[in-house]
Amino acid sequence: MEIQHFSWNLDKTTIKGNVWTTDNPPKGVVALVHGFGEHIDRYQHVAEYFNTRDIALIGYDQRGHGKTNGKRGHVHPYEHLLNDVDRLLQETKNRFPGVPIILYGHSWGGNTVSNYILKKEVLPLVGVVLSSPWLRLAFEPPKLQVLLGKLVGKFLPGMTQPNNLDSAELSNDQEVGKAYDTDPLVHGQVSVATFFGAHNGGNWALENASKLTVDTLIMHGTADKITSHEASKEFAQKAGDKATLQLWEGLRHETHNEIKKDEVLKFVADWIVTKLA
């Protein structure tokens, strides 16, 4: 497996990404959009497993994340995120001509991907994976904090504050949380505009899930205290036969980093392979 690097310049932002090519000719390629606060290098082990199944992986550090420049935790307007997915898919088609594409979004990335696939009339995809998507949070933010955030957001949309993520809730494997806390490319900030962009985007995706036109695997751990697995169930129910729901009993937010990650990754790859036939 070989790792290649690329960059794009969009809206005065230099977006940096990775391509993990396969040892054998790829049967498919996963275009991945990562979650909030993290970066694409955290998916190295995912790429390594997909390589064993002849599936390539491509992804980028989102704006204000990882090696991509921009204010940490601030992306505004929300449409920038959708434009970045457009650019990712174009890069994917250029690098892997004729190879089937699966779009994969985790957490905040799942929020973006769900909006993207519901808003685009033509999708160059054979399938989509939504991993612990941020459709709703697993907890209710304090109403006063939400109200103040909306007021402040009108005047200072780029104002950031700590996101208060408990890294212990990422996985039952506590080494995952420890590595997250010491990773210099991880950040813990979120802007008012970015939070409400995702909040509104998640609600919109739930309201419009019945419009889903592409086969989509939705995975969520039932012990996720960050994003709501009940919202994933609701999305799948509204989407009907285009959606496949996989709930992982007792797993937390990052199912691909769980103690049972080998089982999770095999399940995902098996599902992807069925879409490549």
- Kindly list the catalytic residues: 107, 224, 253
Inter-residue contact 109 to 62 (CB < 8 Å): yes
Q: Could you tell me whether strands 216-221 and 189-191 are parallel, antiparallel, or unpaired per DSSP bridges?
A: unpaired
Side-chain-side CA neighbours of residue 213 (13 Å): 12
What is the distance between the alpha carbons of residues 66 and 54, in angstroms, rounded to a whole number? 27
Beta bridge partners of 161: 190
Q: Say how far apart CA 31 and CA 88 lie, in whole Å.
A: 7
Contact 213, 243 (CB under 8 A): no
| Alpha carbons 174 and 168: distance in angstroms, whole number | 6
Surface-to-core class of residue 81, CB atoms within 10 Å of its CB (0-12 exposed, 13-18 middle, 19+ buried)? buried
Q: How many CB atoms lie within 10 A of CB 262?
A: 11
Asked if 217 and 271 touch (Cβ cutoff 8 Å), the reply is yes
Residue type, 93: K
Contact (Cβ atoms closer than 8 angstroms) between residue 102 and residue 31: yes
